[in-house]
Amino acid sequence: MSLLAIGTVAFDALETPFGKTDKIIGGACTYIALSASYFTKPVNIVAVVGDDFPDESIQLLREHGVDTEGLQIKAGEKSFFWSGRYHNDMNTRDTLVTDLNVLATFDPIIPDAYQNCEYLMLGNLTPQVQLTTLERLRTRPKLVVMDTMNFWMEIALDDLKRVLQKVDVLSINDEEARQLSGEYALRKTARKIMGMGPKTLIIKKGEHGALLFQGDEVFFAPALPLEEVFDPTGAGDTFAGGFIGYLAATDDTSFENMKRALIYGSAMASFCVEKFGTERLLNLTKEEIDARVQQFVRLAGFTV
Ligand code: AMP
């Protein structure tokens, strides 16, 4: 089923306890698209970069089945830039720099070929752009999943709440969920956020897994204990790409299937953190992904 993703396509500079990178390719949409491409193709994207963004990176996306007709390249402007530093636990980080650059004036234009998309991933970027994208689609997608982060809660909360009213699933981390709801206990947090619009809520807990809420139902996906965690950047977006990619490929939005999608998303995120940036997402095989999903099945499976 057709999948459209929006979000940032960006330069990132990262610092983790294991090393530092200068500007590398990142952005929410980049991670979402690469991850989803292992489940469904093409992945259509609507995003913006400056003319400092390398052609080879756009080519790389194309080679992974990402359709870049909706990627605008703005002459004379700079791409979105984000820099972050991870703490020793690798679960928390500080944002050092957010330079919106080309994102500040982004007008999301949806190519005709992307209209009628059935699955829409509103990846992390300006809430107003998320809203405009939804409004510009002639028919409402079957499923709309949204991601966001504390940065937007701080500067654009009203817009963010407007988008929330229109989405089916929200995926955020525990700290952001608490910030958005003003509640600490996750059950209460979830109920409050679901009252803001999304019928389904995913609360990501980094190396401690993810929770899926819908009505009174709750499901937990663990995170795989890994030998090596190099760089958590993009794990949340990679998770979201795997989640919606799996749902689009199976074209089943039931809660039971969302549970499976949560595991596939978690499996994709577990690959992402093993190397810096997008590196680990570039050469995965279906066999590797299936084998990792089986590790999740063994990790959490038990009988009573
Ligand atoms: P994650 O680790 O999944 O939260 O995503 C990290 C990615 O999000 C990086 O590649 C950044 O380029 C991108 N990013 C960071 N801050 C923002 C923001 N305020 N809006 C959109 N994307 C962002």
For residue range 111-166, list pLDDT tens digits in order. 999 999 999 999 999 999 999 999 999 999 999 999 999 999 999 999 999 999 99
Q: Residue 303 has what pLDDT?
A: 86
Cβ neighbour number for residue 141 with a 10 Å cutoff: 20
Distance CA(69)–CA(46), nearest Å, equals 8
Any atom of ligand 1 within 6 Å of the Cβ of 198 = no
Residue 236 banded pLDDT, cuts 50, 70, 90: very high
Distance CA(35)–CA(38), nearest Å, equals 6
CB 80 within 8 A of CB 104: no
CA–centroid distance, 185 to ligand 1, in Å, is 26
Mutate to test the pocket of ligand 1, among 9, 25, 53, 80 (most ligand atoms within 8 A of CB): 80
Distance CA(51)–CA(102), nearest Å, equals 10
- Nearest CA-CA partner of 82 in 221, 190, 233, 287: 233
Cβ neighbour number for residue 225 with a 10 Å cutoff: 10
- Using N-to-C axis directions, what is the helix angle for 235-250 and 28-36, rounded to 10°? 40
CB 207 within 8 A of CB 91: yes
pLDDT at 90 over 90: no
Question: Tokens in use for 257?
Answer: 């299937």
Any atom of ligand 1 within 6 Å of the Cβ of 219 = no
Give the CA-trace dihedral at 42, 60, 147, 76, to 10 degrees: -120
pLDDT at 228 over 90: no
Any atom of ligand 1 within 6 Å of the Cβ of 50 = no
- In the numeric block, the tokens 């699933």 are attached to 169
Residue 300 banded pLDDT, cuts 50, 70, 90: confident
